[in-house]
Amino acid sequence: MFLNSLYKFIGNRISPAGAHARLSILNYHRVLAKRDLLFPGEVTIDSFDAQMFRLSAAFNVLPLFEAVERLKQGTLPARAVCITFDDGYADNFTIALPILQRHGLAATFFIATAYLNGGRMFNDTVIEAIRHAQPGRLDLSGLGLGQHVLSTLKDRARAINHVLSTVKYLPVDERERIVGGLCELARCSSLPDNLMMTNDQIKSLCRAGMEIGAHTARHPILAGLDAVAVKQEIMAGKQFLEEVTGMPIRLFAYPNGKPGVDYLPEQVAIVREFGFAAAVSTQNGAASQFSDPFQLPRFTPWQTNIHYFVPELLKNLRNGGE
């Protein structure tokens, strides 16, 4: 309790209520049912629950749309934080939602619509194909993805990271082709088709008071596309979600999200044109009144030690936004 009072005291100094308030927007992807030995740092049901408990004790958690409006008006409460999830994973509904509800917290879910209802994002195809590949040599040099020896978990994690860092920046069709080739070489017979949400789960999130945001259809790196393709991707995602939810989609998250790398000023202008109220990046830091509402920074909690969760958040609250 003493520690929590201290956190609030420090938080009030860094981010007081009103015009000098700052806004920390947390960025999650998956919340796993149990620890994945390939990715031991990923958030699990237990660590997410512990984080939400501490978050609600030390910060004022707001829905993102409301927070953005209040940031512009200079009426945010002290220690303001928002919670967001990217991509549309089914575990956001099955695991994260009940935890959020138990703690009385609202969140925004940015969804890439092309992979819903039994689809799979390219990164998960790579992860699952290499996870299940036979031990031994995996020669992906024909695809420009190097040669790998898979014996330990570490080898598999290394191979996954190597492949992902390469295919992430390929044009979407090329990316699909290469990932398909990888599957053949890794001889994976059945890959999971239940990783992403269904339309019904998205509707239920909405009915539970959560906000749905756009994240394009196929999750391309926008900086690599021409204006027509950028508009198509953003519009397809937005329209799909508006049909499913029956609500206006007011918020957008740039795929991958690094300013100057994954998206450029011309794509920010397009997002603005589409009538979104705000957009978020993956640039670290907290927003202030002076931040561009179409490039709000976000913070990915990375500490596996729960005791550092609030201190890291306070550090992030102090960072950027000028």
**Would you say 64 or 80 has its CB closer to Zn ion?**
64
Dig out the tokens for 32 from the structure.
Answer: 């796993």
Radius of gyration, alpha carbons of the chain: 20
Among all residues, whose Cβ is closest to Zn ion? 86
Question: Collapsing DSSP states into helix, strand and coil, what is residue 82?
Answer: strand
Give first-to-last CA distance, the chain, whole Å. Answer: 32
Question: Collapsing DSSP states into helix, strand and coil, what is residue 142?
Answer: helix
**Would you say 263 or 294 has its CB closer to Zn ion?**
263
**Would you say 24 or 113 has its CB closer to Zn ion?**
113
Residue 291 DSSP label: S
Q: State the minimum distance, in angstroms, from the CB of residue 58 to Zn ion.
A: 27
**Would you say 60 or 282 has its CB closer to Zn ion?**
282
Residue 211 binds Zn ion (CB under 5 A): no
Q: State the minimum distance, in angstroms, from the CB of residue 26 to Zn ion.
A: 15
**Would you say 78 or 167 has its CB closer to Zn ion?**
167
The span from the CA of 140 to the CA of 205, in Å, is 40
Q: State the minimum distance, in angstroms, from the CB of residue 4 to Zn ion.
A: 32
**Would you say 87 or 233 has its CB closer to Zn ion?**
87
List the interface residues with Zn ion, window 250-289 (CB under 5 A). Answer: none
**Would you say 300 or 319 has its CB closer to Zn ion?**
300
Q: State the minimum distance, in angstroms, from the CB of residue 17 to Zn ion.
A: 32
Residue 223 DSSP label: G
The span from the CA of 106 to the CA of 208, in Å, is 9
The span from the CA of 272 to the CA of 63, in Å, is 20
Q: State the minimum distance, in angstroms, from the CB of residue 256 to Zn ion.
A: 6
Kindly tell me the sign of the dihedral angle through the C-alpha atoms of 56, 62, 67, 71.
negative
List the interface residues with Zn ion, window 69-88 (CB under 5 A). Answer: 86-87
The length of the chain, given as a count of residues: 322
DSSP string, 254-276: -SS--BTTTB-HHHHHHHHHTT-
Q: CA–CA distance from 7 to each of 12, 115, 286, 289, 301 (Å)? A: 8, 40, 17, 23, 17
**Would you say 42 or 46 has its CB closer to Zn ion?**
42
List the interface residues with Zn ion, window 86-105 (CB under 5 A). Answer: 86-87
Total number of residues that touch Zn ion (CB under 5 A): 2
Q: State the minimum distance, in angstroms, from the CB of residue 215 to Zn ion.
A: 6
Q: State the minimum distance, in angstroms, from the CB of residue 119 to Zn ion.
A: 14
**Would you say 143 or 214 has its CB closer to Zn ion?**
214
Q: State the minimum distance, in angstroms, from the CB of residue 308 to Zn ion.
A: 25
The span from the CA of 180 to the CA of 276, in Å, is 34
Q: State the minimum distance, in angstroms, from the CB of residue 87 to Zn ion.
A: 4
List the interface residues with Zn ion, window 189-208 (CB under 5 A). Answer: none
For residue 204, the cross-strand partners are none
Taking phi first (over 0 means left), then psi (-120 to 50 degrees means alpha), and beta for anything else, what does residue 87 get?
A: left
Burial 236-268 (b: 16+ CB within 10 A, else e): bbbebbeebbeeebbbbbbbbbebeebbeeebb
Question: Collapsing DSSP states into helix, strand and coil, what is residue 59?
Answer: coil
Where along the sequence are the contacts to Zn ion (CB under 5 A)?
Answer: 86-87
